[in-house]
Homo-oligomer: A and B are copies of this chain.
């Protein structure tokens, strides 16, 4: 059995890495402890943050626990975020956006298949920034959510509609590559 402080640090690490609020029940399963024990630990972690005046707070939101920055630091965070590369599209985000733009409607699974890695993180960013939106459901089994680009996306790029996206063929290095790519492209666009 691990001591209380060990459990606390593992709990902190899990909450640190989580990108969504973590329900008590999930933590109970993870640490193989009853929910009331988890509640106790989480609350003691929260008190610890408060008492030691940390920049991080532990919040109970939307049915779960989540770490967040202390509101007092907001001015610094806003300046930091405004100046940092946070605003820039990463290469992964740019590629994901490009695939969504040219192959929409597209599911997470299709994106992962094309890029060879999960695109969930960048997709979430693109959705949060309003440039990618849900556009429907796959009629097939599983009913996967399908994604497409938003009106905001068109406006930012100065396009009236998707038909004004440049022809990919104009950007291909050579004709052979065009053939290879077309065979990989669906009938969509």
Question: A residues touching B (Cβ–Cβ < 8 Å)?
Answer: 5-6, 8-14, 16-20, 26, 29-31, 52-56, 67, 69-70, 72-73, 76-77, 79-81, 83-86, 91-92, 115-117, 124-125, 128-130, 133-134
- Which residue of chain B lies nearest to A71 when distances are taken between CB atoms in the complex? B13
Q: Is the CB of A69 within 8 A of B13?
A: yes
* Interface class of chain A by DSSP: helix
Select A14's contact among B9, B13, B80, B128, beta carbons within 8 Å: B80
Select A116's contact among B17, B85, B125, beta carbons within 8 Å: B125
Assuming A20-B85, A30-B76, is B124 touching A55 (CB within 8 A)? Answer: no
Q: Is the CB of A84 within 8 A of B116?
A: no
